[in-house]
């Protein structure tokens, strides 16, 4: 992979990169399509990264569907699919970690200690191997994408982080490889996340600027669904991910909600008096 | 600097890099000469990195001699000297750290908590900017060089770490920018570090394999010098930097010794039945 990337770099080509954990859905493929518009070649990877799963989490049962995934990437005409083994990424003696301090420990990081350290470490490794000019991440994992953008800035990487929109099912459920875990009744109930986010957006449009009110609205709607249990429901600044009191600038409404054993996240970018179309890359 | 490095990379040239904190001495210049043998262009940097100094350490008083340093690099015909400002390397909001776990907390890291985290973070940043194929570090800072080599391996960097020999004064004192802190009587006493290392090497050659005996020999000789106070004196494996019981493979005799307020480090690679000439790069 390094050799292929090096050759593309030396030929002055623009390398796009879509790293994934496989179990591809339309969200991943929209990132590939996005990358194809701006880059040639587009490289992809599938690596279920053990370092970003906690000991009680779903590393072992995370869906692995490499053959159909490879076929999908092939149909999308990606130039290469990087498929490293765990022992290749983390050989004996591996001991380096990359951490973005502060934000890594909040929100997702509070529920999943060490998760983001695992993410930033593996993403930096992948960037060093693939040497992308542009790397594409889904906005569903908004905090992850923000942390990776901070890392790229802080470490002077030659890689620009680009965010793709959330792709949703008919009923609004955000595409996620973990949706496969949902039992039929949970799957149906899971649409409540998007309904809550839409309600917050609509309330903002109707003039509500008080973040606590919007947060309570999110909670009220989710709690109306008996199968759903809130982990967090927050209104945070889009750049700093700090809680806000009033929504005066673009903010994320962020949700983490359990449906049975399955933990789903979702979010919506909300802003006073604008539409939701927004800058394509993080403004650092 | 990024633009210059990018151009050199795109022209398929071999980039050598000698990062320094300035206050150049013959040790630094020997690294430049070494780099010039194998690379073209050779880039250098001077950056007194605040993140690798503890709050009680000598960041403020560390010698800064940029003009004569630049002249020396110029005379050595380096292609570029990178001279970043602190605010440029660590702008507001900077929050990423790179750490090699385990070894960073032992030996130098025990006396200087956070030191190596600061080193690996800044070195990775410099590598991302300068994009070297080969980066040169002095063997006096053996643990530092080892940690950087581990980082480069773990993060799949496209940079090979090369070690240059320790350059010494007439009386054996290892060249160091901090030697300038020594008062005349301390400067004279400081030769005891090298005498102790030589004695350990000679004892090994004479058949002593017991690491504790060698360590006690180091201590005895340094303690014979009234102005010297030992921080540590250890015999460690050359690869793992773990303490050894018997010297059966190449080991470092490592010293950290105070002369008055000034803390000096030195070391010698010792091995049973070989000379001290040794591989040029860390064998990972």
Q: State the pLDDT at residue A71.
A: 98
The length of chain A, given as a count of residues: 284
Q: How far is CA B150 from CA A156, B1, B45, B98, B155, in A?
A: 20, 25, 21, 12, 8
The 8-class DSSP code of residue B276 comes to S
Domains defined for chain A, CATH in brackets: 2-164 (3.40.50.620), 177-270 (3.30.1300.10)
Q: State the pLDDT at residue B45.
A: 98
Residue B100 to residue A95, Cβ atoms within 8 A = yes
Give A157-196 pLDDT, tens digit per residue.
Answer: 999 999 999 999 999 999 999 999 999 999 999 999 999 9
Query: Which stretch of DSSP H or E encloses residue B45?
Result: strand B42-46
Q: State the pLDDT at residue B281.
A: 46
B37 interfaces chain A, CB cutoff of 8 Å: no
End-to-end distance of chain B based on CA atoms, in angstroms? 29
Positive/negative CA dihedral, B26, B27, B29, B34: positive
Of A50, A42, A54, A41, nearest to A21 (Cα)? A50
Give A201-222 pLDDT, tens digit per residue.
Answer: 999 999 999 999 999 999 999 9
Q: State the pLDDT at residue A274.
A: 55
Contacting residues of B for A13, CB less than 8 Å apart: none
Catalytic residue among B25, B28, B115, B194: B28
Give A148-163 pLDDT, tens digit per residue.
Answer: 999 999 999 999 999 9
In this predicted structure, the answer to whether residue A273 has a pLDDT above a threshold of 80 is: no
The 8-class DSSP code of residue A246 comes to B
* Cβ atoms of residues A267 and A139 within 8 Å: yes
Q: What is the pTM of this model?
A: 0.94
3-state secondary structure of B214: helix
Contacting residues of B for A12, CB less than 8 Å apart: 10
A-interface mutation test, from B128, B129, B146, B159, most A Cβ less than 10 A away? B128
Contacting residues of B for A132, CB less than 8 Å apart: none
Residue A98 to residue B98, Cβ atoms within 8 A = yes
ipTM score assigned to the predicted complex: 0.93
Q: How many angstroms away from the CA of B161 is the closest CA of chain A? A: 16
Tokens 């993410």 belong to residue:
A119
Q: How far is the C-alpha of B157 from the C-alpha of B100, rounded, in Å?
A: 14
B95 interfaces chain A, CB cutoff of 8 Å: yes
Give B212-229 pLDDT, tens digit per residue.
Answer: 999 999 999 999 999 999
Would you call B278 a catalytic residue per the annotation?
no
Over pLDDT 90: what percentage of chain A?
95
Comparing CB atoms, the residue among A12, A150, A157 nearest residue B10 is: A12
Residue A154 to residue B98, Cβ atoms within 8 A = no
Give B8-64 pLDDT, tens digit per residue.
Answer: 998 999 999 999 999 999 999 999 999 999 999 999 999 999 999 999 999 999 999
Q: State the pLDDT at residue B280.
A: 43
Q: Tell me the β-bridge partners of A95.
A: none
Residue B156 to residue A103, Cβ atoms within 8 A = no
């Amino acid at each position: 992979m390094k050799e292929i990337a090096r050759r593309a770099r030396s030929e002055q080509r623009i390398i796009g990169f879509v790293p994934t954990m496989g179990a591809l859905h339309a969200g991943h493929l929209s990132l590939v399509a996005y990358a194809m518009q701006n880059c040639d070649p587009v490289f992809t990877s599938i690596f279920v990264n053990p370092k970003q799963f906690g000991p009680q989490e779903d590393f072992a049962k995370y869906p692995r569907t490499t053959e159909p995934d490879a076929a999908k990437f092939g149909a999308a005409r990606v130039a290469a699919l990087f498929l490293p083994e765990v022992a290749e990424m983390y050989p004996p003696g591996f001991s380096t970690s990359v951490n973005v301090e502060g934000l890594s420990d909040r929100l997702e990081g509070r529920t999943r200690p060490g998760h983001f350290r695992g993410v930033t470490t593996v993403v930096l490794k992948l960037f060093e191997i693939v040497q992308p000019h542009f790397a594409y991440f889904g906005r569903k994992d908004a905090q992850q994408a923000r942390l990776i953008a901070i890392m790229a800035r802080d470490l002077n990487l030659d890689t620009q982080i680009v965010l793709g929109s959330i792709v949703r099912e008919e009923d609004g459920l955000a595409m996620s490889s973990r949706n496969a875990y949902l039992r039929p009744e949970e799957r149906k109930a899971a649409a409540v996340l998007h309904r809550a986010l839409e309600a917050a957006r609509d309330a903002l449009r109707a003039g509500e600027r008080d973040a606590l009110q919007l947060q309570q609205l999110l909670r009220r709607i989710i709690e109306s669904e008996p199968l759903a249990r809130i982990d967090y429901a927050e209104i945070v600044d889009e750049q700093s991910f700090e809680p806000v009191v009033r929504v005066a600038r673009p903010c994320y409404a962020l949700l983490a909600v359990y449906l049975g054993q399955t933990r789903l996240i979702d979010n919506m970018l909300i802003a006073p008096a604008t539409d939701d179309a927004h800058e394509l890359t993080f403004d650092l």
